[in-house]
Chains A and B, each alone.
Chain A
Amino acid sequence: MKEYLEGSQAIAKVVALCRPGVISAYPITPQTHIVEGLAQLVADGELKVEFVNVESEHSAASCCLGALATGVRAYTSTSSQGLLLMAEVIFNIAGLRLPLVLTCANRAVSAPINIWNDHQDSVTVRDSGWIQFYAESIQEAADLHIQGYRLSEDKRVLLPVMINIDGYILTHGYEVVDIPAQELVDKFLPPYQLERKLDPTHPLTLGVLAGPDYYMETRFAIEKTMEDVLSIIPEISNEFHRTFGRNTGGLIEKYCLEDAQRVIVAMGSVCGTIKETIDEIREKGEKVGLLKIITYRPLPQEEIYQALKKVKEIAVLEKAISLGGFGPLYTEIKSLFQGKGENPKISGFIVGLGGRDITKNSIKTVFDKLSGKQTDCEFIDLKNVEIR
């Protein structure tokens, strides 16, 4: 049913439709409304779930890990410092092959303290073995949760999924969202079944030690699974399309790429602003396009390469930076063309850190700069402040 909803409320409703058995989360801006929404559903008797209040994000993630290990579907959500406080458990959940779905309401990382949006939090834990999706709109964010559970619990996958949604821009924004019927979700998402679960009647050790003679194989297994995931994601988003009639999720989205000479690569809600700007620039006859990355981990290398190989000038737009290096995505996009015949000019741009508003003018600036000198890591919309 179509409703006019706040992003956080839409996610709470959709998570409830996925029938988690345990929810444990610690409130942090701008994720709070999601968990409050779920708590309200529990209080109203609309959602039967073990809602565990904890004293920190580390405990919330640990609580979910425990629930999943006993074969119960779980959910948590966090932002920024909260995600970083979970970091240890984040790695453990992936290492133990437990299918958690987590919503990260993307927010800048302190210091200086800042509650507004960028991608530094989730990008910082990209190496943990989690699948990562980035949503452009509230509808896409909602749909990705249903797809995320399905993917995460697939017996070929068993890896946790992080759905990234831009803090405030989407979490506190209101849009028309189609919330699917429970029957459809039930049809699409079978109950969670874990073959080797913690069960007192069939004792089991979970999380055994793996020495130098075994550890590498466990990491290799995750890496191999990530390769498989690249073909499973389209499979699942196609089935989602057939079931719900909406085309969301998948690996990448191409916008005006057919004949584009200058292309921006980006993730998340900024893609909407980029599309609007592209329409305006195209009216003037300039051939510009967008490559939206929905799946950031595993990185769909082949799809990105195929989409970009005819493009002359590529800008990678990032809301995160590896300080002392470049934008993480820029480095990866650049590496795709290593040893290949094409030699596009690839530039890296950092935008919107700490919620700095990204306007159509910001995007136009990037397109203009693309025709100029190649740049690795240029900050857009930077103020002229005196640096002492």
Chain B
Amino acid sequence: MIIHLTAKPGSARNNKTGSWRIEKKPKFLQKNCVACKNCLIICPEGCITGEEKNTFNCDYDFCKGCGLCAVICPKQDIIMVSEE
């Protein structure tokens, strides 16, 4: 009887970590963004997407609300706001 301890890539997507947020979530203002991509790089969940200036956003199904993107943004264009 064999149970393999292997998993195909992408299976982490099945684990939606958005439910882990407790108080605040990032809000992407998309006003002063210079597309430096620091937020995209630092996001531990890799759930931030965007290419051009003022196009960046995150997937709230996976965002844990850690706030790193807001801290690293050189233009303060990402702020942490309360969950609705």
Q: Do chains A and B touch in the complex (CB under 8 A)?
A: yes
Interface centre among B4, B5, B7, B11 (most CB of A within 10 A): B5
The residues in A between 35 and 65 inclusive whose CB is less than 8 angstroms from any CB of B are none
B15 to nearest A CB, angstroms? 11
| A210 adjacent to B1 (CB under 8 Å) | no
Q: Name the CB-closest residue of B to A159.
A: B2
What residues of chain A lie closer than 8 Å to B2, measured between beta carbons?
Answer: 97, 155-156, 158, 221, 225
What residues of chain B lie closer than 8 Å to A205, measured between beta carbons?
Answer: 6-9, 11
The contact size tier of chain A is 20 to 34
Contact of B4 among A156, A196, A220, A225 (CB under 8 A): A196
A-B contact count (CB 8 A): 41
The contact size tier of chain B is 10 to 19
What residues of chain A lie closer than 8 Å to B3, measured between beta carbons?
Answer: 97, 217-218, 221
The interface bits of chain B over 1-35 (1 if a CB of A lies within 8 angstroms of the residue's CB, else 0) are 11111111101000000000000000000000000
| A206 adjacent to B5 (CB under 8 Å) | yes
Is A228 interfacial (CB 8 A cutoff)?
yes
Q: Name the CB-closest residue of A to B3.
A: A221
The residues in A between 218 and 233 inclusive whose CB is less than 8 angstroms from any CB of B are 218, 220-221, 224-225, 228
Is A372 interfacial (CB 8 A cutoff)?
no
B9 to nearest A CB, angstroms? 4
B contact residues vs A (CB 8 Å cutoff): 1-9, 11
Could you write out 29 A-B pairs with CB less than 8 Å apart? A95-B5, A96-B5, A97-B2, A97-B3, A97-B4, A155-B2, A156-B2, A196-B4, A196-B6, A203-B8, A204-B6, A204-B7, A204-B8, A205-B6, A205-B7, A205-B9, A206-B5, A207-B5, A207-B6, A208-B5, A208-B7, A217-B3, A218-B3, A218-B5, A220-B1, A221-B1, A224-B1, A225-B1, A228-B1
A contact residues vs B (CB 8 Å cutoff): 95-97, 155-156, 158, 196, 203-208, 210, 217-218, 220-221, 224-225, 228
